[in-house]
Amino acid sequence: MSFAKDKLLEEVKKSMQSPGGKGKQGLSLVVIGHVDAGKSTLMGRLLYELGRVDDRTRTANERNSTKAGKSSFSWAWGLDGTTEERERGITMDVALQSFSTTQRQITVLDAPGHKEFIPNMISGASQADCALLVVDASTGEFEAGFERGGQSREHLILARSLGIAQVIVAINKLDQVQWEKNRYDEICALLRPFLVQSGFHPSKTTFVPVGAMLGVNLAACEGDDAKQLLEWYKGPTLVDLLDNLEPPSRDIVSPARIPISNIFKGQGSGTSISGRLLSGVIQVGERLRVLPGDETAVVKSIEVEEENVPWAAAGSNLTLALVSVDPIQLTIGSVLCPPTDPVPLASTFTAKIIIFDVQVPIISGATVELFHHSRDVPATVSKLIATLDRTSGKIVKSNPRVLVKASSAEVQITLRAMGSSNARPFPLEPYAVNKAMGRILIRREGETIAAGVVTAILG
Q: Look at residues 337, 355, 377 and tell me which one is the last residue of a structural domain.
A: 337
Q: What is the CATH number of the domain that holds 138?
A: 3.40.50.300
Task: pLDDT band for 150, please (50, 70, 90 cuts).
Answer: confident
**Same domain, yes or no: 195 and 84:** yes
For the segment 44-49, the average pLDDT, to the nearest whole number, is: 85
Task: pLDDT band for 381, please (50, 70, 90 cuts).
Answer: very high
pLDDT at position 378: 93
- Residue 195 sits in which domain range? 23-243
**Same domain, yes or no: 178 and 315:** no
Task: pLDDT band for 163, please (50, 70, 90 cuts).
Answer: confident
Residue 18: inside a domain, yes or no? no
For the segment 355-370, the average pLDDT, to the nearest whole number, is: 92
pTM equals 0.80
Residue 76: inside a domain, yes or no? yes
Q: What is the CATH number of the domain that holds 297?
A: 2.40.30.10
Residue 46: inside a domain, yes or no? yes
In this structure, of 50-64, 194-208, 276-290, 307-321, the range with the lowest mean pLDDT score is 50-64
Reference 261, options 389, 164, 128; nearest CA is 128
Amino acid type, 398? S
pLDDT at position 297: 94
**Same domain, yes or no: 254 and 238:** no
Q: Look at residues 174, 208, 243 and tell me which one is the last residue of a structural domain.
A: 243
pLDDT at 293 over 90: no
Q: Look at residues 337, 370, 391 and tell me which one is the last residue of a structural domain.
A: 337
Rama region for 241: left / alpha / beta (φ>0; ψ in -120 to 50; rest): alpha
**Same domain, yes or no: 194 and 331:** no
Cis check: omega of the bond before 193, within 30 degrees of 0? no
**Same domain, yes or no: 432 and 330:** no
**Same domain, yes or no: 292 and 438:** no
For the segment 318-339, the average pLDDT, to the nearest whole number, is: 91
Where b means 16+ CB within 10 Å and e means fewer, 13-42 reads eeebeeebeeebbbbbbbbbbbbbbbbbbb
pLDDT at position 88: 42
**Same domain, yes or no: 254 and 367:** no
Q: Mean pLDDT over all residues of the chain?
A: 84
Domains identified in the chain, total number = 3
Which residues in 33-129 belong to E strands, given as ranges? Answer: 95-100, 104-110
pLDDT at position 357: 81
Tell me if 100 sits within 8 A of 306, measured CB to CB. no
For the segment 160-169, the average pLDDT, to the nearest whole number, is: 90
**Same domain, yes or no: 120 and 55:** yes
- Angstrom CA distances, 261 to 156, 197, 258, stand at 21, 30, 9
Of all residues in the chain, the percent with pLDDT exceeding 90 is: 44
Residue 4: inside a domain, yes or no? no
Task: pLDDT band for 364, please (50, 70, 90 cuts).
Answer: very high
**Same domain, yes or no: 27 and 143:** yes
**Same domain, yes or no: 29 and 49:** yes
Residue 119: inside a domain, yes or no? yes
**Same domain, yes or no: 139 and 199:** yes
**Same domain, yes or no: 203 and 274:** no
